[in-house]
Amino acid sequence: MIAEADFWLLTILLGTGTFLIRFSFLGLFGGRTLPDWALLHLKYVGVAVFPALFMPLVVWPEATAGETDPIRVIAALAAFGIGLRFGVIWSIMAGMGALYALQYLLPAF
C-alpha cells in the first residue's frame, strides 16, 4: 500500500494539475471568442468521447462477465439509429429504453 504522506502528496498534485488544465482553458479563454479553427475542432470532441465511454460497456460488460451480450448490442444500435436523426438526449433515452425493454422481454437471453 502507499504511505499516507505519499497519498496526500499525490492527491494534492493531481488536484492541482487538474485545476491548472481546466483553468488554462476556462479561466484564460472563458470570456473571449475562440478562433474559428478552434471552434471547428471542438465540435468533434463529443463525437469522439461519447463512443469511447460506452463501447466497453457494450462489448465487454461486467454484468455478463465480459461476454458480448446481444441485448446490449441491439440497444446500442437503437441508440445509434435514433442519435443520427434526433440527437444525443434522444439517443440516450432510446438506448436505455431498448436495453430495459429487451432485458424485461428476453430475460433468459
Q: Which three cell numbers stand for residue 68?
A: 458480448
Asked if the model's pLDDT at residue 109 lies above 70, the reply is no
Greater pLDDT, 14 or 44: 14
When pLDDT is cut at 50, 70 and 90, the band that residue 77 belongs to is: very high
Sign of CA dihedral 91, 95, 97, 102: positive
Sign of CA dihedral 41, 46, 47, 49: positive
When pLDDT is cut at 50, 70 and 90, the band that residue 9 belongs to is: very high
